Amino acid sequence: MAMFPPRRWDDVRNDLRSDWDRTYLAYKRPWEEVQDDVRFGWEQGSNPRYLGAKFEDVEDELQKLWETSFPHARFEDWRYLKEAVRLGFDRAKQEHGETQLRQF
């Protein structure tokens, strides 16, 4: 079986934008507002530290890490951005053959 190097953010950004625009319309947040959150999720889902982890199992830790990574946005409510973080995290896991994306 051939091994391919993991894709980088620039390789998946457009796919994730399409996923957000198609699947997460109910959140009424345009891609431009959530791109950094999705990227954060992608980077954490690609991090070996979270190998085998499900979003639900590490959500509290990711929230704390997000708050320290984006201190200027610390007043933003996690409830309104966690789905963007989850999208990136789950897609990274899918890329690495760990999980499937949630279906709505």
Angstrom distance (rounded) from CA 84 to CA 78: 10
Domain that residue 65 falls in: 25-95
User: What tens digit of pLDDT does each residue of 8-65 get?
Assistant: 888 899 999 999 988 877 778 889 988 999 999 999 999 999 988 999 999 999 999 9
Model confidence band, residue 5 (pLDDT cutoffs 50, 70, 90): low
* Residue 47 lies inside a defined structural domain of this protein: yes
Count how many domains the chain has. Answer: 1
Cα–Cα distance for residue pair 19/48, rounded to 1 Å: 24
Return the sign of the alpha-carbon dihedral for residues 41, 70, 75, 36: negative
- Residue 102 within a domain: no
CA 60 to chain centre: 14
Say if 80 falls within a structural domain. Answer: yes
Residue 5 included in any domain: no
For residues 22 and 45, the answer to whether their CB atoms sit within 8 Å is no
Task: Confirm whether 104 is domain-assigned.
Answer: no
pLDDT higher than threshold 80 for residue 98: no
